[in-house]
Amino acid sequence: MLELFLKSFLTLFVVMDPVGLVPVFVALAGDRPHRTQVLIARKAVLVAGGLLTFFYFFGRELLGHLGISLEALRIAGGVLLFRIATEMVFAHHERETEEERDEALSRADISVFPLAIPLIAGPGALASVLVLGAEAKGVPYGFAVVLFTAYLVLFLAYLFLRGATAVRRALGRTGVNVVTRVLGLLLAALAVQYVADGVRGLL
């Protein structure tokens, strides 16, 4: 159980990357009152949590209707995670396009898009909860461990977003880049493992 918790926490923390959300959040909502920033952060985390929970319980049935195997999802998730990892390591940490960012800036509410989707609950996070859920089947209370870990990471993301301005000031641009690159390296290793497990299952 402890091993599943640690693996789930590391995977989801690296994929959601609460530290990496800080500069994006500051850019999108840094000029708004602190109370408004807190409300935006809370709504974004709640929406992302709802989406992850739905995908955790019903994602496999959805994949079944589409004829997609879990092994194929492992490989696809690994490829997606590796792409995110390379962007993090090489400081190209852009999880939204320029058009999406401009659209977000022109909207009054940025909590659902782009914060909840795709910044927090992106393709990598959705694929991760499904893979982790499959691995949890042989562990007592495994489903609860994965969900608890997901909610824990979401809570940490909320804390980072709530104090985004202070966190960015404390770490500085260099500090944020260092943390992001270290997490990117760990994520790359996890991505390779996902692909290896998926290929082994298909063969």
Q: Hey, what's the torsion of the CAs at 183, 184, 187, 193, to 10 degrees? A: -130
pLDDT digits (tens, 9 = 90+) for 83-105: 877 877 886 544 555 555 555 45
| Residue 164 contacts residue 24 (beta carbons within 8 Å) | no
pLDDT digits (tens, 9 = 90+) for 33-46: 889 999 999 999 99
| Closest residue by Cα to residue 37 from 163, 167, 130 | 163
**pLDDT, averaged across the chain:** 83
Predicted pLDDT at 58: 92
Q: Where are the domains of the chain?
A: 2-202
Q: Whole-model pTM? A: 0.73
